[in-house]
Each structure stands twice: as C-alpha cells, then as structure tokens.
A and B are shown apart, each in its own frame.
Chain A
Amino acid sequence: MEERPYHSVRLAKELCKGCTNCLKHCPTEAIRVRGGRAHILDTHCIDCGECIRVCENHAKIAETDHFSMIRQFKYAIALPAPTLYGQFRGLQNPEYVIEALRCIGFADVFEVARGADVVTRAIREKLKQPDLPKPLISSACPAVVRLIQVRFPDLLDNVVDIRQPMEVAANIAKTEFIKKNNCKPEDVGCFFITPCPAKMTAIRRPLGQKKSDVDGAISILEIYGQLLPYVEKMMNDPSYRPATKYGVAWSTSDGEANAVCPENSLSVDGINNVIRVLEEVENYKLTDLTYFEGNACLGGCVGGPLTFENNYVAKNTIRQMVSRMPEIHPDKDIPTSILNKYPMKNDDEVLPRDAIKLDDDMAVAMKKMTTMNEIIERLPGYDCGSCGSPTCRTFAEDIVRGYCTEMDCIHIARVKIKDMAKQMLEIAQTERS
C-alpha cells in the first residue's frame, strides 16, 4: 500500500513571497507558484534541499525532530553522521565529538561512519557476485535514490540493495546497547544527527526497508552550538576505537567509492551533475563501470543544507582528520560475522514513483503530448516563471494536466488584452458614428 508521501522539505507559508527563486532551481521541477506562494508537488519532490539553499526569505524549511525528543526515551543513542566531524575546525579526532554528544544528554553514541565501514564490507562482498548490473548504484544518498524513482525508474535494478549506513548503525547500536545494559527495546531510541532533510524523509518513509530502525533525526544545525563548547574543551585525550578513516570519509564525495570500489568507480556530487550522469547510465554509456556514487549535495554530505560549516572547509577538516587516522580498511576491520549477525539487505522493494507520464493510457498521453507541443509553439519561450511554472515547457505540461490555463501566461494575456481593448475601441467608435 502506498502511504501518503511524507516530505521533510516544507514551506513556511507566512514567509513565502511567491518569488521564482526556488521555482527555477528545483532539479525535479517540483515547485509551482500559485496564488502568490510556492507549492511543492509531493509526487516530484525528492527532498534534496536545493530550494532551502536558494530561498532568500527562509520560507523553505526542513522538518527535523527537536532535540528535546530524545527525552521520550529512557536511553537515547546518538548516531552522528561523519559530516558532523567536519563542522569543527582543527578537529583531530572524532572522539571529542562523540564525548560531547554524551555530555549533552545521549546515553550512548554509535558512529554512522562505523555503519559505513560495515556497509563498505557488505557492498564489497556483493561486488564479488557474478552478473551484477553495471554500474551498481549507491543507495547511500536518499535524494539520489528518490531521483531515480522519479526520473530514472529503469535504473532501479542498478541500485544496490544494501541498507544505508545510518540504518545499519541504528540496528547494531540498539542491539548492542540492549544486550549490554539488559534493558527493554522500547526504552532505547536512536537519533541520527543529520546534515540533510533527505535522511529525515528516509526515516519516516524508508527506501528499501519496511520500517526504519532510526527513531528520529536531529539537524546538525540544531545541536552544533550545544556541542561546540564541549568539543573545544576536550580537544586533548584520545582513548577510544573509532570508525576507520574509510567510514569517516563517506561524508565527502568520493569517500564511499574509494572505500567500496577504488578500482573502477565514479563519484558525482551536486544533484544536477548526478542527473546528467544518470542520463548516460540510462543510455548504456557507462556499462564498463562497476560502481556509481551519487551525492545530491556539492562536496557530498558535508554540503548538506542542515550543516553549519561551509562544505569546502568541512571537506578539508575531514581530509586532514582522515590523513592522520591509521590505514585500516573495513575489509580487515569488519569481520564477515557482523554481516551475518545484523540485517544488511533491504527487506522492501524500491518502487518507481511515476511523476513523468502524462497519462496512464499511452494513447491519451500522446494526445496530451501533441497538445503540449502546440501550446509550447504559442508560448514566448522566456522561461520567466511569472506564470508560476519553472519553464514554458512545464507550463504547457501543467496546462495539459489541467492545473492552469494559457491565460496564466502574462505575455499571452497581454496580447489578448490588447486585442480586446482594440475590439472594444472599435465597438465604441461604431456606436458613435
């Protein structure tokens, strides 16, 4: 059963001025401005957060869970995305951040980078199988997986069916904590510290899993300020075995590809770049490629809209930290016993989300397409966005879908009004004579 779509990316109605900034930047043409404010099309939105970045009025927001939600559980476990480490300039060791998370109220911390180590191992085991689709596409960025659902449904078979690092981390963290502390499962809550809204959506509406093992997502922006004093205080005294450098590097573009398949992989960051390369994958142009890592955000997760530090500085912080970490690959660090002990594979199918087809009936779709092309011929082609649709082509599409009429185009309306005024003048003059 298809659930009502949930999206973390929302509109703060009172702040929206109805301008065209988000309209023009949405990579999936999921925004329309109608009645003086933006509307997000549930069917098209992939929660990439591009609109949050470009909105001058801060009217595009990401819904995440409030920090106080951790009190709903007797024990709250923090699952920090490795991107969190990149927020603290000069950070030598992830351990300070992990300690700081304990200081602000988490009972325990499990690094998502550790989850990434386990997932690295699981994917590398999978890559040993014969007859895999080429390239295998990473499922780590939920915005990219949703993009594939919406725009490249034929590539869904290429998407790797291994769970996200966040999910694997949550499952291991919970299981270990319950065992160690002999407590009830319902007393333990796992909270992902998230750089982006797409992960929040992936928790509420999981991709490839029936139910997420994560109980909530708290944005990096929300707790950065609380963590900072603790991290600064502790920047001396390492005594903890962290995730490997490979797991930590998953936070930046190429980190995953380098861990999973350095021999023959491609990593692409920035949602529009990802779209361009997926078009080529769809056209069988990259069939000699083994692994594809796509990140919706520039620079990878460090470029997430809910991060504090700018992505270039954060990337540098991660790179420096990683360069000081010992050279241990997850192949050595993660025993296969872990892969068998915890669920690695998806337990649900990732289905296409059909937002492209003009109609389920192909004959009707073709009629609509023909009408659409005729309308495009009549439109000025300015792509100005004044009608509320991002381009003249999408406007024509919106007309055939029945969402608006040609008179919503101010340029067409102006010509019509001019004609009408001329006719009225003619009528007026006829009456006088």
Chain B
Amino acid sequence: MEPLYTGSYHVAKDDYTSAGHASADIKRQLKQIGVSGDVLRRVAVASYEVELNLVIHSLGGDLTLNVYPGLVELISSDIGPGIPDLKMAMKEGYSTASEMARSLGFGAGMGLPNMKRNADDFDIKSTVGVGTTITMGFHLA
C-alpha cells in the first residue's frame, strides 16, 4: 500500500554536527500532520536513536518516514558495514562505538534496545558487507 505521507533523509557517516536534525524534522512534520501524545514522543525517541546509529555505526544511509492510516513507520537503511552478531547488538550495554563517538558521550549500548522498547513493531535485518535495515512501526491510537 502507498503511504499517505512520506519523507526521506540522507544521514552521512560521522556527521556529528548535523546529527539529530533528521529526527527533529520528523517530529516537526508529525506534529504538523496531527500526530501527538505518547506516539509522537516514542517516534521522536526512536528516530533520534536510529539517526545517531547511522552517524556512529554505518557508512551512511537513509532514514524514511512513512505514514499509513493508523501507522507511523520508520525505516533506516544503510550501505554497511552490517552487524555480525545481531543478538549481541540487541543487548543493553553492548556497544561497538568508536573512541570518537564515546568521547562525545555516545556508545552506552542503549540505541537498539531503546528503539525496540519505543516501537510497537520492530524488525532488524543485517548482512555483513551489505548493510542493515531497521523497520519500526508505531500504532496510532
């Protein structure tokens, strides 16, 4: 089904200065569409986490917002490097963040768990050498 509304953002690797802009824009757009309350805030948290993950861990990727009747969907799709051990990656406190990211206060190992906690539907697929795709669904009341 075609989404009723769609917006897409490119997120570059190691671009810490713009980090957070895409998720801030997603929140603003959702407010203008009329999404509010707990769903809005959960999307805001998850989109920030996923955007930061693209900056910190990926070689670059796209963040897409789709709105369907009753559903907000966020898809993050990157061009690598892929996650070798998904089970470990989903564990709270586990992080492979670089020294650079850690020096900026990131790398607490809460990114993926936080996304999963905030989304109603969460799916992650990753192939080493190809890339990672995360799909999150948020149900509109």
Please determine whether chains A and B interact with each other in the same assembly: yes
A357 within 8 A of B: yes
B104 within 8 A of A: no
Please name the residue on chain A nearest to B31 by beta carbon: A356
Contact of B36 with A153 in the complex, beta carbons under 8 Å:
yes
CB proximity to B under 8 Å, residues A339-379? 356-360, 362-363, 365-367, 369-370, 373
Contact of B44 with A282 in the complex, beta carbons under 8 Å:
yes
Contact of A283 with B36 in the complex, beta carbons under 8 Å:
no
Name the interface size band of chain A. 20 to 34
Contact of A366 with B4 in the complex, beta carbons under 8 Å:
yes
A154 within 8 A of B: yes
Contact of B7 with A373 in the complex, beta carbons under 8 Å:
yes
Contact of B31 with A370 in the complex, beta carbons under 8 Å:
no
A312 within 8 A of B: no
Contact of A284 with B45 in the complex, beta carbons under 8 Å:
yes
A279 within 8 A of B: yes
Contact of A357 with B32 in the complex, beta carbons under 8 Å:
yes
Question: Which residues does chain B contribute within 8 Å of A373, judged by CB atoms?
Answer: 7
Contact of A362 with B33 in the complex, beta carbons under 8 Å:
yes
Q: How far is the CA of A385 from the CA of B5 in the complex (A)?
A: 28
The verdict on A154 contacting B45 (CB below 8 Å), with A363-B4, A369-B29 known, is: no
Question: Which residues does chain B contribute within 8 Å of A370, judged by CB atoms?
Answer: 5
Q: Which of B32, B36, B67 contacts A154, CB < 8 Å?
A: B36
Please name 11 further chain A to chain B contacts, defined as beta carbons within 8 Å, in addition to the given A358-B32, A362-B33, sorted by A numbering.
Answer: A154-B40, A282-B27, A282-B41, A284-B41, A356-B31, A356-B32, A357-B34, A358-B34, A366-B4, A366-B33, A369-B5
Contact of A154 with B37 in the complex, beta carbons under 8 Å:
yes
| In the complex, the 4 A-B pairs of residues with the closest C-beta atoms, listed nearest first | A366-B5, A357-B34, A362-B34, A365-B33
CB proximity to A under 8 Å, residues B24-57? 24, 27, 29, 31-38, 40-41, 44-45, 48
The residue in B27, B33, B44, B67 that gathers the most chain A C-beta atoms within 10 A of its C-beta is B33
Q: How far is the CA of A44 from the CA of B83 in the complex (A)?
A: 46
Q: Which of A279, A282, A284, A358 contacts B33, CB < 8 Å?
A: A358
The verdict on A283 contacting B44 (CB below 8 Å), with A362-B34, A366-B67 known, is: yes
Q: How far is the CA of A326 from the CA of B33 in the complex (A)?
A: 54
Please name the residue on chain A nearest to B25 by beta carbon: A393
What's the least CB distance linking A417 to chain B, in Å? 32
Contact of A369 with B32 in the complex, beta carbons under 8 Å:
yes
The verdict on A279 contacting B24 (CB below 8 Å), with A366-B67, A369-B32 known, is: yes
What's the least CB distance linking A286 to chain B, in Å? 12
What's the least CB distance linking B49 to chain A, in Å? 10
Q: How far is the CA of A107 from the CA of B105 in the complex (A)?
A: 58
What's the least CB distance linking B137 to chain A, in Å? 17
What's the least CB distance linking A278 to chain B, in Å? 12
Q: How far is the CA of A29 from the CA of B36 in the complex (A)?
A: 20
CB proximity to A under 8 Å, residues B95-140? none
Please name the residue on chain B nearest to A279 by beta carbon: B24
Contact of B41 with A365 in the complex, beta carbons under 8 Å:
no
Please name the residue on chain B nearest to A356 by beta carbon: B31
User: 1/0 contact trace for A282-320 toward B, CB 8 Å?
Assistant: 111000000000000000000000000000000000000
Please name the residue on chain B nearest to A357 by beta carbon: B34
What's the least CB distance linking B21 to chain A, in Å? 12
Contact of B41 with A369 in the complex, beta carbons under 8 Å:
no
Question: Which residues does chain A contribute within 8 Å of B36, judged by CB atoms?
Answer: 153-154
